[in-house]
Amino acid sequence: MRIYRMESYQEVSRRAANIIAAQITLKPDTVLGLATGSTPVGTYRQLIELNKQGDLDFSCVKTVNLDEYCGVPADHEQSYRYFMNHNLFNHINIDPANTNVPDGMAKDLQSECERYDKLISDFNGIDLQVLGIGHNGHIGFNEPDDCFEKTTHVVELKQSTIDANSRFFASVDNVPKRALTMGIQTIMAARKILLIASGADKRKILERALFGPITPQVPASVLQMHNDLTVVCCVD
Ligand code: GLP
């Protein structure tokens, strides 16, 4: 595990973007696992800048997002598909057909989960997975549980996650109660993982995740077992 402790959110974003850019430069057809949430927004802004300057080419990159709310259409402002289009994809030279987000509107959610896992394995897995961390230690939408869920699955969101994400919705009642998320096994199978965290409110959970016992009650703690984990954070 490599930990970069940065001085500011801006520095976190620059370092994280540089790591992603290095990956894409070395392997232009990288399969990039992406995350939503407020944390990676600055990283995506930096990637857009690098792309605009002509220093980073996304034309051969494929992306797979971690998760999506159930029952929120792609063109809804709070869907993760909308988030990704607006915070990254619409501003870089990526082929939209190469961007993938689970379909939370699928009629048969179970089949959608199976389709998503097959898509990732047809891509020969993920080269670099970007992760944020929730206050309860969730990664993607893998919530604290009695066991680690392996593959893409439907998850009932914890009240704490619904409350945390309510800042993006008109009211807490508008936050979806269910989501689709890649499982822990899929995330752990990524060849490299980049975890980014920012804000003093993430300090405790980041410490528990990186240095506490490995337990499904803190899903991010499983990352301690990964052999190529980079953490970029500013949590002081
Ligand atoms: C959501 C996402 C996670 C993200 C987490 C933290 O629940 N599903 O992938 O890591 O929020 O979000 P933030 O970066 O806004 O704290």
Q: Best substitution site from 133, 169, 193 to test ligand 1's pocket, by max atoms within 8 Å of Cβ?
A: 133
Region at 39 (left for phi over 0; alpha for psi -120 to 50; beta for the rest): alpha
Predicted local distance difference test score (pLDDT) of residue 115: 98
Predicted local distance difference test score (pLDDT) of residue 22: 98
Going 98 to 148 to 139 to 75, the CA torsion angle's sign is positive
Predicted local distance difference test score (pLDDT) of residue 41: 98
DSSP 112: H
CA distances from 203 to 126, 133, 139 (A): 27, 11, 15
Instruction: Establish whether residue 25 lines the binding site of ligand 1, counting it when its CB lies within 6 angstroms of any ligand atom.
Output: no
Is residue 105 a contact partner of residue 111, using CB atoms and an 8 Å limit?
Answer: no
**Burial classification of residue 173, based on how many CB atoms lie within 10 Å of its CB (0-12 exposed, 13-18 middle, 19 or more buried):** exposed
Structure tokens at 14: 């620059």
Predicted local distance difference test score (pLDDT) of residue 168: 86
Which atom number of ligand 1 is nearest to the Cα of residue 140? 9
Predicted local distance difference test score (pLDDT) of residue 165: 87
Instruction: Establish whether residue 42 lines the binding site of ligand 1, counting it when its CB lies within 6 angstroms of any ligand atom.
Output: no
CA–centroid distance, 134 to ligand 1, in Å, is: 5
Residue spans of the chain under pLDDT 50 = none
HSE toward the beta carbon, residue 39, CA cutoff 13 A: 28
Instruction: Establish whether residue 165 lines the binding site of ligand 1, counting it when its CB lies within 6 angstroms of any ligand atom.
Output: yes
CB-CB neighbours of 154 under 10 Å = 17
